[in-house]
Amino acid sequence: MLGNTDVCATIAVKDMTVAAKFYEEILGLQKIKENPAGNFYQSGKGGVFVYPSPAVAGTNQATYAAWSVDDAAAVVTDLKAKGVAFEHYDDIPLLTRDGDLHIVGPTKSAWFKDPDGNILNIVEGM
């Protein structure tokens, strides 16, 4: 039923102005819709909907959104140059870590947070 439709991550933030700067300038997403309920950013065939909700922003302890990339190390380098700090999760089974990259078999992942503490991920090899 839903297998042929695009998916959209929905991310609560405290401050839409701060969030817009992060998602547009740091991550390079293009805002294609803006309304009082939030902003929709194009990402591949799907997208990210960022909406104001100060009470719940940053409270999720799991990954909100993950981007499939061809070269995770290059993306980490680019994001670090823009001031993004990466998270380290050394308690994941079967994982080894090389700097900011978490490696399990052919899969390389890196996690980081937006200004509100929402957990985001890039992954190569999925």
What's the pLDDT score for residue 7?
87
Q: Are 102 and 119 in contact, with CB atoms under 8 Å apart?
A: no
Q: Which of 83, 91, 84 is nearest to 67 (CA)?
A: 84
What's the pLDDT score for residue 13?
97
Predicted TM-score (pTM) above 0.75:
yes
Q: What is the block-wise mean pLDDT of the chain (126 residues), using blocks of 10 residues?
A: 87 97 97 94 94 92 94 98 96 91 95 97 93
What's the pLDDT score for residue 4?
86
Between CA 103 and CA 108 the distance in angstroms is 5
